[in-house]
Chains A and B, each alone.
Chain A
Amino acid sequence: MTVYDIIFYLFALITVGSAFFVVTLRNIVYSAFFLLFTLFGVAGLFVLLSADFIAVVQLVIYVGAILVLLLFGVMLTHNITQVQIKTGTLQIIPSAIAVLILAFSLIKIFLNTNWKTVPLTVQSSSVEGLGVLLLNQYSVVFELIGILLLIALIGAASMARR
């Protein structure tokens, strides 16, 4: 077991453990804060997979933007107004069926995939390769996503103005 294995298990533990708390804690603000550690752990796992760009994007978008917006929404409603937001269980049977199907398919995929294992090498940054791919092979998709995001922005702005 090398040091990198230990680091991997550390990050995996952070991710899975905090994800468990996100789901089970009754207080929704605690759940939101535990989400920070989950996202951070996932970023660490991306780094170990030599996907440095994705790791930082994970931090910028999920921690820097989405999580903050989430906390914003929760906080604005939680302590100021008297509405108590709690997590609870509703509709046990349909959710159990959905979870079972999802778990089954995930395990099936995990067992049936022919995993490619690459020996541990230090790879150079993935940014350049990503950039070249995005602007050559996938340029149409890239532009379409840009337009989609722009539409979403304009829509949000016009809804906020009402």
Chain B
Amino acid sequence: MIFDFFTKLTGSEISASIISALLPLFLFVLPFALIAVLLERKVSAHIQDRLGPMRVGYHGILQTLADILKLIQKEDIIADSNDKPLFNIAPVLVFAGSYAVFAAIPFTSSYIGSNINLGLFYIIGISGIVVIGILMAGWASNNKYTLLGAMRSAAQLISYEIPTLMIVVTILMITGTLNLNELTEMQSGFFWNWMIFGGQATGIAKILLIPFMIVGFVVIYISTLAEVNRTPFDISEAESELVSGYHTEYSGMKFAIFFLAEYANMFAVSAIVVVLFFGGYLSPIGYLGNTLGLPWLIPVEQLLWFTFKGVAFVLVQMWLRWTLPRLRVDQLMAICWKYLIPIAFVNLLIVGLITLI
């Protein structure tokens, strides 16, 4: 594990855990956000039969860097009626909440920020800070639109946490662990051992599990999509009615931090879905490192597989965003409370019965 390596290198557990906690930020989240912002613009453009950014670099690949340069130069505007301390803290809180999630995500078998036993539960708990940050941003801006956006966002996040938790409990019932590393290792083997194909169960139980696992996957994907506030669930920042929701009044780098948090969140929820249902960092077809006899190659390949699967789900999120219209507030709540929660609950009961076989 990387953690042990750093402990040997620096000679202290504390500095080792600080370094291993900072690693994903600089090696993963920031580069990912850079690429994902460009990807979003390109994907949306091609879905709408446009070209998207084309001027900066070949097919606009340096567009995000140019944007960041612009954002850094911008004046940091704080209006008189804004509540200054809260206005400044809110972006930090939102980013801290979405970044803290990465501490428990296993990127490869040899790297996990903190290998805690309650990984999955911790992720769900710590993302509550994001809600508080959003409410803070909405309130501190002192503006009707931002407040409404923050309210909607908070209501949505709280409601959709319930189906997510139910599916997590379903998985927990089968695997008996909340440690994301162990959860991934339980799905090792080839791709038919992934949770979506019934995990390590054998015989009739496996065949019975598959349809309910697919239902579970769909439910958790919809509800995590709602938790990152993206279309079709973006009523909290609906441009046509609320300008842009809770971050309307932010400019410059503070706005960039909100943006970064959104993209970090997108990958985080995709990573959770991947770990729960699609074998996490495991390769579906075996490792090149095994064939060539190079054991150090395996973690690298695992990182690539993990990134690949995560980005695939991020792409689906983008695809949905630019294809589906926005839901109304009542439809949003109806989907959660009248459809997703009962479905997740029945799913939980049935999977529980199947595990008894």
Q: Hey, which bits of chain A sit against chain B, CB under 8 A?
A: 3, 29-30, 33, 36, 40, 52-53, 56-57, 59-60, 63-65, 67-68, 71-72, 75-76, 78-80, 124-125, 127
In the complex, residue of chain A having the shortest beta-carbon distance to the beta carbon of B83: A29
In the complex, which residues of chain A have a beta carbon less than 8 angstroms from the beta carbon of B139? 29, 71, 75, 78-79
- Say yes or no: A68-B131 contact (C-beta < 8 A), given A53-B118, A60-B125, A63-B125: yes
A64 B154 Cβ-Cβ under 8 A: no
B-side interface mostly:
helix
Q: How many A-B residue pairs have CB under 8 A?
A: 77
A-side interface mostly:
helix
User: Which residue of A59, A72, A79, A124 contacts B154 across the interface (Cβ within 8 Å)?
Assistant: A72
- Say yes or no: A68-B14 contact (C-beta < 8 A), given A53-B118, A59-B125, A75-B147: no
Q: Hey, which bits of chain B sit against chain A, CB under 8 A?
A: 12-14, 86, 116-118, 121-122, 124-129, 131-132, 135-136, 138-139, 142, 144, 147, 150-151, 154-155, 158, 161, 178
A68 B117 Cβ-Cβ under 8 A: no
User: Which residue of B86, B117, B142 contacts A125 across the interface (Cβ within 8 Å)?
Assistant: B117
In the complex, which residues of chain B have a beta carbon less than 8 angstroms from the beta carbon of A78? 139
In the complex, which residues of chain A have a beta carbon less than 8 angstroms from the beta carbon of B142? 79
In the complex, which residues of chain B have a beta carbon less than 8 angstroms from the beta carbon of A68? 128, 131-132, 135, 154, 158
In the complex, which residues of chain B have a beta carbon less than 8 angstroms from the beta carbon of A79? 139, 142, 147
B158 A59 Cβ-Cβ under 8 A: no
A33 B147 Cβ-Cβ under 8 A: no
- Say yes or no: A64-B147 contact (C-beta < 8 A), given A52-B117, A72-B154, A127-B118: no
Complex Cα gap A63–B135 (Å):
12
Complex Cα gap A67–B14 (Å):
31
Complex Cα gap A29–B137 (Å):
12
B151 A76 Cβ-Cβ under 8 A: yes
B118 A71 Cβ-Cβ under 8 A: no
Can you report 6 residue pairs joining A to B where beta carbons are below 8 Å apart? A64-B125, A64-B158, A68-B128, A68-B132, A68-B158, A71-B139
B118 A63 Cβ-Cβ under 8 A: no
In the complex, which residues of chain A have a beta carbon less than 8 angstroms from the beta carbon of B13? 3
In the complex, residue of chain A having the shortest beta-carbon distance to the beta carbon of B165: A60
A124 B147 Cβ-Cβ under 8 A: no
B158 A75 Cβ-Cβ under 8 A: no
In the complex, residue of chain A having the shortest beta-carbon distance to the beta carbon of B15: A3
Query: Nearest Cβ in chain A — how far from B104, in angstroms?
Result: 11
Complex Cα gap A63–B13 (Å):
29
Complex Cα gap A66–B126 (Å):
14
Which A-B residue pairs are the 6 nearest by beta carbons? A64-B128, A125-B117, A59-B125, A60-B125, A63-B128, A56-B125
Complex Cα gap A3–B147 (Å):
42
Complex Cα gap A152–B292 (Å):
61
In the complex, which residues of chain B have a beta carbon less than 8 angstroms from the beta carbon of A80? 144, 147
Among the interface residues A68, A78, A124, which one has the most CB atoms of the partner chain B within 10 A? Answer: A68
Query: Nearest Cβ in chain A — how far from B122, in angstroms?
Result: 5
In the complex, residue of chain A having the shortest beta-carbon distance to the beta carbon of B158: A68
In the complex, which residues of chain A have a beta carbon less than 8 angstroms from the beta carbon of B132? 33, 36, 63, 67-68, 71
Complex Cα gap A160–B158 (Å):
18
A72 B151 Cβ-Cβ under 8 A: yes
Complex Cα gap A53–B118 (Å):
7
Known: A40-B129, A68-B128. 7 other contacts (CB 8 A): A52-B117, A56-B125, A59-B126, A68-B131, A79-B147, A80-B144, A127-B118
In the complex, which residues of chain A have a beta carbon less than 8 angstroms from the beta carbon of B161? 64
Complex Cα gap A125–B138 (Å):
38
In the complex, which residues of chain A have a beta carbon less than 8 angstroms from the beta carbon of B124? 60, 64
Complex Cα gap A93–B142 (Å):
38
In the complex, which residues of chain A have a beta carbon less than 8 angstroms from the beta carbon of B121? 53, 56, 60
In the complex, residue of chain A having the shortest beta-carbon distance to the beta carbon of B139: A75
- Say yes or no: A125-B118 contact (C-beta < 8 A), given A71-B135, A72-B154, A80-B147: yes
Complex Cα gap A56–B178 (Å):
12
Query: Nearest Cβ in chain B — how far from A56, in angstroms?
Result: 5
In the complex, residue of chain B having the shortest beta-carbon distance to the beta carbon of A43: B125
In the complex, residue of chain B having the shortest beta-carbon distance to the beta carbon of A59: B125
B117 A56 Cβ-Cβ under 8 A: no
In the complex, which residues of chain A have a beta carbon less than 8 angstroms from the beta carbon of B125? 56-57, 59-60, 63-64
In the complex, residue of chain B having the shortest beta-carbon distance to the beta carbon of A124: B117
